[in-house]
Amino acid sequence: MKRLLITTLLAVSATSPAWAWSNHALANYRAFEVLPEVAQAAAVPAEPLESFLAAQAQPIAALLDSQDAWARAHIAHYPPLPAALRFDAQVAQQGPQALRKAFLTALRVSPESRLALYVQPDPWAPAPDPATRLEHDVVSALPARDKDGGGHTFVRLRAGDSVAPLAVLASASDEPDYGMDLNLWEDSPSDWGPRYGFGKIPFGNPNLSFSTQAPFHMGYHHESSVIYMAAGFLKRTYPLLRIHQYAGLSELAFRTGHPYWGWRFAGLALHYLQDLTQPYHASLAPGFSSTRLIGINLMAMLGMPGAKNDMVILLSNRHFVLERYESQMIQASALARQSGSVDQALRDTSTDASHPTWSETYARHTVARQAHALGPAVTEQMLASVQPGYVNDPSFDFGVHAKDIDLVAEVASQGEAQRQVLESTIATLMRNFGAHSRNMLRGILGETTPP
């Protein structure tokens, strides 16, 4: 059984797109503008990373040690932090560059992570002064890209500039997609990967640098036991590690008088929680039962790989279509200054209190479980509303053509009923996105009960 299944599961997991929601910042402006603790919080002074690290080197060292101990106890297949990477507060005496590098390697993120001072402005706000715009590579370690046709605008902050917590939080929530989790594996073509102790990449191509982040941005926590039996490597995903690391750093920063980094780390933690609200990031193959996966694989083993190859394309296309539609809608409403169903769902706090309060198990037991459970229904609703050519035709690769497709217009041309089906599906996911994000932030801020 194990040998039979492993090729198919590897193929499926290896080709999953590494993006989840296209631009987290846009969604977070909407999700948090309704939370007074964020929207009305006093502006904070921007602080360079190095000055936060220098001021709090000792408590940070203690926190990172305790996080490693926590992860050993709570995260399956957690590879302990190699002793050589432990953060030693004494490194502060070697200057800001050494300090920064020691911190990033102790977190086991890419040492090329920028963590620059910047914001991604709210597209509903007046356009920023062009003179304050930052080049892409000041903020991101990835080559400039335009994955969703939306583009990103970065605006410079200087140390000490006063900035709204909502802008810090929303901007940081998109940052983990800027190369922070790139090439962290033993077989990665990087100086740092082989030293990080994460082992070989569990799935995906170690030489496609962007796909190397996927195991940190997906969480296969609720697959059936037959799947895990066949492919234990699927358990080697680490969004829960990142959430724990950044949420803890956020609390430390708030507690020690560095509110800018409190909001910034909270935003980083939110990213991973939000990725898990995407059913295609919380499940291996939504809409395909384990039995069907096994059947498809058996055929591949018998020399008929057609169904396997088709499934890989269909999963990828559906993944893209869901995100593309959400992204197009949120950008269109910002441009028109008119709230649409996505914006309203993100602001909707009516279900916040229906979930458990934030805890160490929330991401896995509440968020990933809910997204995994929604996978089949979301898939059915996409099939019922979007042109079959985009979601049910394995000869078409949506990812390749996405930029040229006006998906909102295409779905509208299917008819009003179809449009409503898809929009209500996406609204459900965005309502969950907003509720879980606010609940996590309430947890970080030390509030246990949603109002």
Which residues, in sequence order, are bridge partners of residue 45?
162
**Amino acid in the structure at residue 75:** I
Q: Which residue, 142 or 386, is less far from Zn ion as judged by CB?
A: 142
Q: Is-contact 70 244, C-beta < 8 A?
A: yes
Q: Which residue, 188 or 213, is less far from Zn ion as judged by CB?
A: 213
Residue 45, SS3?
Answer: strand
Burial label, 368 (beta-carbon count in 10 A; 0-12, 13-18, 19+): buried
Q: Which of 30, 114, 217, 308 binds Zn ion (CB under 5 A)?
A: 217
2/70 Cα distance (integer angstroms): 31
Q: Is-contact 43 119, C-beta < 8 A?
A: no
| Interacting residues of 98 by C-beta distance below 8 A, sequence separation 6+ | 91
Q: Name the minimum Å distance from CB 346 to Zn ion.
A: 17
Per-residue 3-state assignment (H helix, E strand, C coil) for 404-448? HCCHHHHHHCCCHHHHHHHHHHHHHHHHHHHHHHHHHHHHHCCCC
Q: What mask of x and - would describe binding to Zn ion in positions 4 to 23, judged by CB under 5 A?
A: ----------------x---
Q: Which residue, 177 or 326, is less far from Zn ion as judged by CB?
A: 177
Task: Write the DSSP symbol of residue 133.
Answer: B
Q: Which residue, 311 or 368, is less far from Zn ion as judged by CB?
A: 368
Q: Name the minimum Å distance from CB 213 to Zn ion.
A: 7
**Which one, of 405, 429, 239, 210, lies nearest residue 320 by Cα?**
405
Phi first, then psi, for residue 45 (nearest 5°) are -80, 130
Part of the chain binding Zn ion (CB under 5 A), chosen from 1-9, 84-92, 212-220, 361-369: 212-220
Q: Is-contact 222 376, C-beta < 8 A?
A: no
Part of the chain binding Zn ion (CB under 5 A), chosen from 30-38, 175-183, 342-350, 371-379: 175-183
1/17 Cα distance (integer angstroms): 27
Q: Which residue, 217 or 221, is less far from Zn ion as judged by CB?
A: 217
Q: What mask of x and - would describe binding to Zn ion in positions 186 to 205, judged by CB under 5 A?
A: --------------------
Q: Name the minimum Å distance from CB 447 to Zn ion.
A: 26
State the residue number with the nearest CB to Zn ion. 217
Q: Which residue, 177 or 251, is less far from Zn ion as judged by CB?
A: 177
Q: Name the minimum Å distance from CB 275 to Zn ion.
A: 4
311/409 Cα distance (integer angstroms): 26
Q: Which residue, 179 or 259, is less far from Zn ion as judged by CB?
A: 179
Q: Hey, what are 301's tokens? A: 């083993």
Q: Name the minimum Å distance from CB 332 to Zn ion.
A: 22
Q: Name the minimum Å distance from CB 139 to Zn ion.
A: 16
427/340 Cα distance (integer angstroms): 10
The angle formed by the CA atoms of residues 81, 199 and 305, to the nearest 5 degrees, is 150
Q: Which residue, 245 or 385, is less far from Zn ion as judged by CB?
A: 245
Q: Which of 122, 181, 251, 275 binds Zn ion (CB under 5 A)?
A: 275
Q: Name the minimum Å distance from CB 271 to Zn ion.
A: 6
Q: What mask of x and - would describe binding to Zn ion in positions 298 to 317, judged by CB under 5 A?
A: --------------------
Part of the chain binding Zn ion (CB under 5 A), chosen from 49-57, 76-84, 132-140, 173-181: 173-181
Tell me the number of residues near Zn ion by CB under 5 A. Answer: 4
Angstrom distances, CA of residue 76 to CA of 79, 342, 368, 374: 9, 35, 15, 24
Q: Which residue, 275 or 323, is less far from Zn ion as judged by CB?
A: 275
Q: Hey, what are 341's tokens? A: 């169903």
**Amino acid in the structure at residue 77:** H
Q: Name the minimum Å distance from CB 218 to Zn ion.
A: 8
CA 274 to chain centre: 6
Q: Name the minimum Å distance from CB 148 to Zn ion.
A: 13
Part of the chain binding Zn ion (CB under 5 A), chosen from 123-131, 211-219, 311-319, 395-403: 211-219
Q: Name the minimum Å distance from CB 27 to Zn ion.
A: 12
Q: What mask of x and - would describe binding to Zn ion in positions 94 to 133, judged by CB under 5 A?
A: ----------------------------------------
Q: Which residue, 179 or 286, is less far from Zn ion as judged by CB?
A: 179
| Interacting residues of 280 by C-beta distance below 8 A, sequence separation 6+ | 16, 17, 20, 286, 315, 318, 319, 322, 375
Q: Name the minimum Å distance from CB 181 to Zn ion.
A: 8
Q: Is-contact 426 327, C-beta < 8 A?
A: no
Q: Which residue, 20 or 249, is less far from Zn ion as judged by CB?
A: 20
Residues that bind Zn ion (CB under 5 A): 20, 177, 217, 275
